[in-house]
Structure 1
């Protein structure tokens, strides 16, 4: 039984104006995927929430240059369509609200 979320790649370096794609495999049976990012000296910031593979809630920042998808039986992807220096951050996905609450409060 899968009991953890798996993200890849572990480390990604891109130049300006490139595409950057990250994948997330949620816990088996979970239908929720949350994507957050965290700048070096900041808090976790919400980007997008997908339910059953569809974007259900997102932010203005997400709408500007990001896209997300969660195809059936495939990893969920988060893509930056045109990278900028400000995109340098830790990107985090979760597949349950309790995980999000634990991480964001630590």
Structure 2
């Protein structure tokens, strides 16, 4: 069973400013952070409970993040049941961050 992240401190002022600067919602940033700390994978409900957020809202963010490749799931078209585990794709997240920096540097 996945481990839950314990109550976390609020993001630092610096982290909050960077999240805002790049137009990312604080919840989406927390979802990515949570997934980074849960290597074995977690469900949208697990994330919702850990972050005190509605699992449906979390699920929408996860689907969007998965469509961009920075999150992976074990869902397949043949899957049985509704339990889906999500994991961070560190490689794709790093690629996305590098592409953003490259763009911002005018390259």
TM exceeds 0.5?
A: no
Task: Say which structure is richer in helix.
Answer: 2
TM-score, normalisation: structure 2: 0.28
TM-score by length of 1: 0.29
For the pair shown, which has the larger CA radius of gyration, 1 or 2?
2
Which structure shows the bigger proportion of residues in strand conformation? 1
Bigger RCO (CA 8 Å, 6+ sep): 1
